[in-house]
Amino acid sequence: MPPVSPNLPDTPEARRYNQRKRWLGFADLALGFAFLLVLLLTGWSAACATSLSVPMRPAATPSPFCSTSLSSLAIGKLVAFAMEYYGFRLERRFHLSEQTLRSWL
């Protein structure tokens, strides 16, 4: 097999894949910022800050900080899941991955 020259132009399929992957990255970034903005505007960040200043609790009672943090983490993962799934489908569509949905999950 001859060596690939670095000066060859990209194929139209490679350009389409790179463009979609780039837009996926921008959309993921925008969703992340939007989620942080929602957290700030709804007061969840204030709830996290005030729950840190709560007096001592019994050991069996979970702190509000823990539940607020875990719920915001879970919501953030759900928001990002759609982007990750689209990335999985994109790689499958352009034959860059043979991974099954089950193994991806």
Cα distance between the two ends of the chain: 36
Distance, CA of 8 to chain centre: 34
How far apart (Å, rounded) are the C-alpha atoms in residues 56 and 40?
A: 26
Q: Where are the domains of the chain?
A: 14-52+61-104
- pLDDT in tens for each of the 105 residues of the chain? 566 667 778 888 989 999 999 999 999 899 888 888 887 888 766 666 565 555 555 555 555 555 666 777 788 888 888 889 999 999 999 988 888 999 988
Please state the pTM of the whole predicted model. 0.66
